[in-house]
Amino acid sequence: MKFGCSLEMINMRINEPGFKHKLSKSYWLEVFKYVSAVGFKGIELPYNPYSSDGIAFNMLRSGMPISKYAINTKYESITSFLELLNHSGIEEVTSVHVNANDSMLELLTSGQDPNKVFEKFEYAAEEAIEFLAEIGGKALILSPTPEIGLLDLTMGKGNSDWKPAFLSKTAQVLNKIGESAAQNGIQATIKNEFWSLVRGNEIDSLMEELDSRLVQYSPDLAHLEIAYADSVDTVTKYKDRLNFVHFSDTNFEDFENNYKKTNPELPIVGPQRVFCDLGDGKVNLPEVYKVLENSGYDGWVICESKKTLNVYRAFLKMRWYIDNVLIKS
């Protein structure tokens, strides 16, 4: 079992103290060194080729390595970027994360038909596969549906029975992406956000429609917890289909049903902080680790302190938690 780190924990979606520094290349050069300093040799990157949405535009123009275009313009080339990571002490980009919600936001922001979301999602995935093949990455992590809140506003207008057909089409697209990934030596795998159509235990019906040879499962533990799914039971159930398990944490109770709203990770009513630093929440991470160890899991565990309030401190806390709690559990 190997521990990696997701750079998606760096919150580029809100303005906060020091946000302008995050837009600079120098910030990311420092981040790579800190990631290496705490012992992570593999990193997962968010991947978004679109830029019509204002937030996506900010990320694209920053030093954030969020797409082939961003890397080629800020780091000269993918080869140069990998050499930079290696020089910093990071050995590989293990995986990238493509989110169907980014595809929907691109359509809505640019005034396009939201029914093109599958086409946009597939395009983003194909570009990510090309990137992974070039940089030597191993997995394409997919968030399979946009937010329920956005889907209700678009697909749900005048159509109360849209979900079964949408999920069926989702499965077809995921299998197609999985086949394309496999042809390039990449493993496709899906995540389960608390705000998606496959939240919590609702992932089960989608998993039944997916080709297990082409698409595996990458449970995100904080998202499972928020959706009232038992992480230990879920990981045990899918122990033979797991890849790139995401260790994250939360203390959040979704009393206000934010999962049904737009921007569910930024509540405006009730508790405001959805995620917490790894080890500070209520997810039973040690027991999940034991399940993985006992089942012989030898893949990557991607650690993430989502939307942490202090990135540098979170890196240190993650390493301490891995060494002193998880491994000793």
- 210's tokens: 């997916």
Q: In what order do the strands lie in the sheet with 300-303?
A: 215-217, 187-190, 139-143, 92-99, 42-46, 2-6, 300-303, 245-247
Q: Give the pLDDT score at 54.
A: 63
Q: Give the pLDDT score at 283.
A: 98
Q: Give the pLDDT score at 15.
A: 61
Q: Give the pLDDT score at 21.
A: 78
- What is the C-alpha separation between 210 and 216, in angstroms, rounded? 8
CA 203 to chain centre: 16
Q: Average pLDDT per run of 10 along the chain, which is 329 residues long?
A: 96 71 89 98 96 69 87 95 98 98 95 96 98 98 98 84 94 99 98 97 97 98 98 98 98 96 92 96 98 97 96 97 95
Across the strands, what pairs with 3? 301
Q: Give the pLDDT score at 57.
A: 67
- 27's tokens: 């910030």
Give Rg (Cα) of the chain: 18
Domains defined for the chain, CATH in brackets: 2-326 (3.20.20.150)
Q: Give the pLDDT score at 30.
A: 96
Exposed / middle / buried, residue 179 (Cβ in 10 Å: 0-12, 13-18, 19+): middle
